[in-house]
Homo-oligomer: A and B are copies of this chain.
Amino acid sequence: MKIVIVGCGAGGGTAAQFARKTDRKAKIVIYDKEGYGQYSKCALPLVIAGKDWKEIIEFPPSWFEKNGIEYRHEEVYKIDLEGRVIEGGKEEDFDKVVVATGAQPSCPFEAKGALFLRCLDDAIEIRQRIKKGGQAIIVGAGLIGLEVAEALAKCKMKVKVLEYMPYILPNMLDEDVANYLLKKLPIDVELGCKVEKIEDGKVIANEEYKADLAIVAVGNKAITPFGKAIEVDEKCMFARDAFAVGDCTIIRDFFGRKIQVGLGSIAVRQGMVAGINSAGGHEIILPSLLPKTTKIFGIEVASVGLLSNEIDGISSKYIGKDLPHYMNGNDILVKVIADKKGIIVGCQAIGNGASKIIDRIALAIYNRMHVSILAKMENSYAPAVAPVFDAVNIACQMLNKKIKKGRN
């Protein structure tokens, strides 16, 4: 049995590990065009901010070799599924293949001299180009754009973010929640701003912005030897003996929608599944609820499931404190979204513990719970930890009332 894994990101690297765990004797080969081994792509903004890049390496090339996985620092140009051979530095045959070729930044406009953040070399280059006191322009106020903005601000650059949409984090938050967050961010964001092009030293949009450093973070598209994203099933399979994982894949999410993968949390779970299955095991992946989180300028933000504009539903938003009134609590926002019947389908949260709040609501969505149940359920309570009715509970009580009223 020979398993060839093409790509060493979160998906590919994890697939190699789990193939090894599943079959101690199989020959396993992993191709890594970058040469760093498996590292955390989500940590790249931290490298820009000054973290030693060596720290974010999770499994260096030597780790793979130590675990009996042949590591090749080579790019793969072609995968012949019929002939069961890949073409990297030279041809290599396989019994099973796992494609984990990732994605690359997309850009709908000409962007001369602009930088993109996709891989470790990009982060290192951006780091080198930082100019204290200089002006950085970030195009795109998505997760990556905002995290890069924070990193550059920490490095004492003046930072401006240009976003085409009317609000930040449009793939993660509703407009009202995004605007609540934006008010708390010490950052200059230009909304509804269409960039025409970038030339050396300037970004041309509604006006011309001088840019000592211009970074574009407006989206990614899959890169595969097949010229397009790979649609995989719940076994992470797309053809006989062929698996694919990570940002080069299209999956069906919990709501039945086809989506392109763009989260490390999905990639590693795909890696587990494809690794096990490619080595003869039997595993399936759960459909993703798309939990997302980040911490920007110290503020935790998270969301899961559907956004309001993705369903004809109903929502309630609670903004309050995360501790009882007599404690020194912090601001917390929780917005819960349900379908017209009251089945919970989404949640957004801002404040300490936002990530854990949406992990909790993920279970409610998974179990197709009605908001009336969450409105009644007890949360754990202690003055120093949480109020007797916490933000989730109150948001659900509000939503439940709305739904009851609509019904009567």
| Residue from the set A324, A353, A385 with the largest chain B CB neighbour count within 10 Å | A385
Q: Is A388 a contact partner of B264 (Cβ separation < 8 A)?
A: yes
Q: A39-47, A79-87, A220-228: which one contacts chain B?
A: A39-47
By beta carbon, the residue of chain B nearest A304 is B380
Binds B, one of A117-125, A196-204, A287-295, A307-315: A287-295
Given A51-B326, A294-B384, A353-B356, do A379 and B40 touch, yes or no (CB 8 Å)? no
Check: A285 CB closer than 8 A to any chain B CB.
yes
0/1 interface trace, chain A 300-331, chain B, CB 8 Å (1 if under): 10101000000000000000000011100000
Q: How far is the CA of A191 from the CA of B376 in the complex (A)?
A: 38
Is A398's beta carbon under 8 Å from chain B? no
Q: A42 touching B357 by the CB < 8 A rule? A: no
Interface on A for B, CB 8 Å cutoff?
A: 10, 40, 42-43, 46, 51, 55-56, 58, 263-266, 268-269, 285-286, 288-289, 291-295, 300, 302, 304, 324-326, 353, 355-360, 362-364, 366-367, 369, 373, 376-386, 388-390, 392
11 A-B pairs whose Cβ atoms sit less than 8 Å apart in the complex: A263-B378, A286-B377, A294-B385, A295-B384, A302-B380, A353-B353, A356-B357, A359-B380, A359-B390, A363-B363, A366-B373
Q: A56-B326, A294-B382, A302-B385 are in contact. List 6 more A-B contacts (CB 8 A).
A: A268-B389, A286-B376, A291-B379, A292-B380, A295-B382, A304-B380
